[in-house]
Structure 1
């Protein structure tokens, strides 16, 4: 217990450590979404194609998800403070290099390295902020950390939109530099580096396990990021990476279960609460990143909003989540079982999705989204902290390090699965709905003919010849059909996401309750 308590801080030091950890977590998460609104500017400035510029997002995501499960082991090898500080320096330096990239592949390479630095920040920030608090206050510590994890994805688009509109795209990277410099200095001066042992000689390191992890996780992330773009298994490259990923995971599991000193301790998944908590973490990632993806997509493609307006729509919801975090942390401290809070969070997420399904029209306004997004914010607030504490509640000692790494990686993969599944569903559903709508349009219907003539006259008055105006009229008709098909697809997405969360709600009640007040985080990196 002495070793564990040696990491607890009080007063001013704990405030500084908390701010440093949350800031670093925010830096990492915001950078996963901030570039989305700048891709068009990057493409024009660097002379890249749309597919090429997509790698700016993909490279970061692949590097990120590879590093998360390695963080526990690397922290033991180099010391937590040194590893954390080095990660911030790498992240900050590559932010400068990204802003100064002269071509698209330079930018992609620097983004990959930035992702390697950023991947460590998320899990290590969680460890640092949790161990700085005494056991009875660690529910509150998870709540403070959760504010960064939940709020970060929604802050990226509006912040990126503001910087691109008022300055230029390199500033979405430059903004990291002063924050990174301050965070590095605070880390070196205030963050402790407890010695939990486990450092290995080069000959004892599981190099094959590290290689298999990179191959397996990197391949899976590539398939999820690029599958829809390449029409999934119709393209050989997706088939190759899928086979590589599946084979890589099979060999990785075999290797880590049979070697004496694995780089990832898979045996820790024998803990029932961690196994169940990992599943719920995947669902949380699916809901968090999926809803953060679908709402801006709908408002921009159907309602014609700007990226900045679409991003700003989610900010009140994020503020509500941040407001809920300390309340949930206090409920956990008072002994309220995690499973009841999680079940309530899943139920509220269903209500949010079902409500969204009911209000979507081509004329839906900001005021229509406000209250349903407030429900989303409360739901996410009820999910993050209880799921995290549930997953780690029955682990002891260094096993918590592996538990934290699993939940971090699975949350990222859940988000990737959510985005890939939603984008694929919308694409396929659009064509199905279009075919159904076209069947019901009779070219001899007087209303259809009247609408078409109206379009034709509009283009003739704009200077087009009658034949060209007729073609343009048909194109306008097609656009209207596709818009309606897209609207129906978005409605289905919200409905199915809601039903998915509703099904999950009662399953939580069968989980064995963990102890909320004394969640140890010894060795958690």
Structure 2
């Protein structure tokens, strides 16, 4: 355990790295249009900038325990920081879309390790009695990172710095983190004394099946909507590969003597099994809500990317502020199985508050308090789930558990974005068809409105034919705005019911003390 100045330098280093990794999952979203123009890319091609990073992440995260043990945790962490930083520079220097996609994949390989390894370093830095504080600091990065991404990305895009700067901002922090890693982070004794596996003993089959299964699944989730899901032979192929790969991976890891990811750890702790599923739900709610809100504010309300990010920021900061308080409550003996349902209920309340607030005239002030409530709810979900999942596990088992929950949380976010995105697009069409049935040129009110619009446009100098076309376009615009309000309200309600439906899982949680010894030496 570290103390004093060294302890807090390590904290700053790993939390910043964790933030960088998560910020990069969402920062590019607001710059895609600019990338399309500068790199002469289509909308379909530019989505690979997001997909390649996510695919690399979910492949690497579950292997971090093995890789840290094989190469030494400090060495692995240092190499990951360098890979992430150098790949960030290369992304900014890319001259075509496929160069950028390739470098984003490499960046994701480095970034995936930062997330999982940061957690274990923090836990080893704090004594067992301060475990909730270490987890709280880690949680601040997990919750705040995806929210800061659109804020920072929006500022860069709106200030005309150019899209490469969304990658260049990583460089100074990455260099500082690399220096601090070599100066202050040390391997625990178990890893220092570990003998690396010979190449012939490494679970190459497990690695291959993991890449095939999880990589294909992430690709399907990232690209499914743009490819029209199972109407596409391409998506069908990778769905089959995902099923074959995941089934083969599970079988291999349960039967191998030295698996790359020891899935048997799930059978050693009921709380870990429940926590893994709850981590999926957390990722689903965290990433899908961050995904859908900016789309609504920018497409429907006309906010800039920077404005949207600033609206999201106070709620994220509230969540970060809550983390140490929740950590102290856990340390004082408040059971996780009581805190998690409170968090789920608060998140449910947030979604229905948002559904009620959505309107064509909504402003920034309308979303402040609902988003603050969201921040509090996520804080009450994340930290209890994390401490509950890892409590009672030691050494290698704890490292494997941390990697598994990290991967599952990431996949939960991918499922959330994919499902919400699909539901959003299809519901827009259904609601438009439903609302169109109420509009008819034989309806006197509709005729009066079209005539009023036509006269208005003619007064601006348009001919009668042009004015009438503009009138129909204006009427269609009003219709689509109303349809969008209904649809986005339904999306938030759907998220709320999803969280409410998952509440019974809390009954499966076995009470554990968070002050017991938890070692993550293997991770």
Quote the residue 1:306 is aligned against.
Answer: 304
Question: What CA deviation, in whole Å up to 9, does each residue of 1:180-209 have, x standing for no partner?
Answer: 111001000110112343621000011111
Question: What CA deviation, in whole Å up to 9, does each residue of 1:107-162 have, x standing for no partner?
Answer: 11111100101010000000001110000101110001100110001101111111
Quote the residue 1:3 is aligned against.
Answer: none
Over 3 Å counting, the alpha-carbon distance change for 1:434 and 1:467 in structure 2 is: same
Quote the residue 2:66 is aligned against.
Answer: 73
Over 3 Å counting, the alpha-carbon distance change for 1:106 and 1:426 in structure 2 is: same
Counterparts of 1:287 and 1:519 in 2: how far apart (Å)? 30
Listed as ranges, the matches of 1:169-248 within 5 Å are 169-194=163-188, 195-196=190-191, 197=194, 199-248=196-245
Question: In the alignment, does 2:29 pair up with 1:31?
Answer: no
Q: How many angstroms does 1:473 deviate by?
A: 2.1
Q: How many angstroms does 1:479 deviate by?
A: 2.4
Which of 10, 31, 48 matches 1:17? 10
Which of 270, 274, 281 matches 1:283? 281
Over 3 Å counting, the alpha-carbon distance change for 1:519 and 1:302 in structure 2 is: farther
Counterparts of 1:284 and 1:521 in 2: how far apart (Å)? 24
Counterparts of 2:221 and 2:196 in 1: how far apart (Å)? 34
Counterparts of 1:303 and 1:274 in 2: how far apart (Å)? 42
Q: How many angstroms does 1:471 deviate by?
A: 2.5
Quote the residue 2:114 is aligned against.
Answer: 121
Quote the residue 2:123 is aligned against.
Answer: 130
Aligned 8 A contact 1:157 1:308 in 2: yes
* 1:391 aligned counterpart, secondary structure: helix
Counterparts of 2:337 and 2:55 in 1: how far apart (Å)? 32
Question: What CA deviation, in whole Å up to 9, does each residue of 1:309-342 have, x standing for no partner?
Answer: 1111110001100110000000111111111111
Q: How many angstroms does 1:487 deviate by?
A: 1.3
Which of 101, 105, 111 matches 1:108? 101
Which of 342, 345, 348 matches 1:347? 345
Which of 137, 141, 149 matches 1:148? 141
Q: How many angstroms does 1:301 deviate by?
A: 1.4
Counterparts of 1:75 and 1:452 in 2: how far apart (Å)? 67
Aligned 8 A contact 2:69 2:522 in 1: no
Aligned 8 A contact 2:283 2:411 in 1: yes
Counterparts of 2:377 and 2:519 in 1: how far apart (Å)? 26
Q: Which runs of 5+ in 2 are unaligned?
A: none
Question: What CA deviation, in whole Å up to 9, does each residue of 1:445-477 have, x standing for no partner?
Answer: 221011111222333344433223323322222
Counterparts of 1:239 and 1:486 in 2: how far apart (Å)? 30
Further displaced range: 438-447 or 111-120: 438-447
Q: How many angstroms does 1:36 deviate by?
A: 1.0
Q: How many angstroms does 1:506 deviate by?
A: 4.1
Counterparts of 1:108 and 1:463 in 2: how far apart (Å)? 48
Which of 53, 66, 83 matches 1:90? 83
Quote the residue 1:251 is aligned against.
Answer: 248
Which of 370, 373, 376 matches 2:374? 376
Q: How many angstroms does 1:267 deviate by?
A: 0.6
Further displaced range: 125-134 or 189-198: 189-198
Quote the residue 1:62 is aligned against.
Answer: 55
Aligned 8 A contact 1:404 1:524 in 2: no
Q: How many angstroms does 1:509 deviate by?
A: 3.5
Question: What CA deviation, in whole Å up to 9, does each residue of 1:239-263 have, x standing for no partner?
Answer: 1111110111111111111111111
Q: How many angstroms does 1:494 deviate by?
A: 0.8
Which of 259, 280, 283 matches 1:262? 259
Counterparts of 2:234 and 2:459 in 1: how far apart (Å)? 49
Counterparts of 1:82 and 1:396 in 2: how far apart (Å)? 22
CA-atom RMSD in angstroms: 1.2
Q: Which runs of 5+ in 1 are unaligned?
A: 1-7
Listed as ranges, the matches of 1:369-448 within 5 Å are 369-448=367-446
Q: How many angstroms does 1:397 deviate by?
A: 2.5
Q: How many angstroms does 1:442 deviate by?
A: 2.7
Question: In the alignment, does 2:349 pair up with 1:365?
Answer: no
Counterparts of 2:346 and 2:313 in 1: how far apart (Å)? 18
Question: What CA deviation, in whole Å up to 9, does each residue of 1:192-240 have, x standing for no partner?
Answer: 1123436210000111110110111111011111111111101111111
Further displaced range: 460-469 or 312-321: 460-469
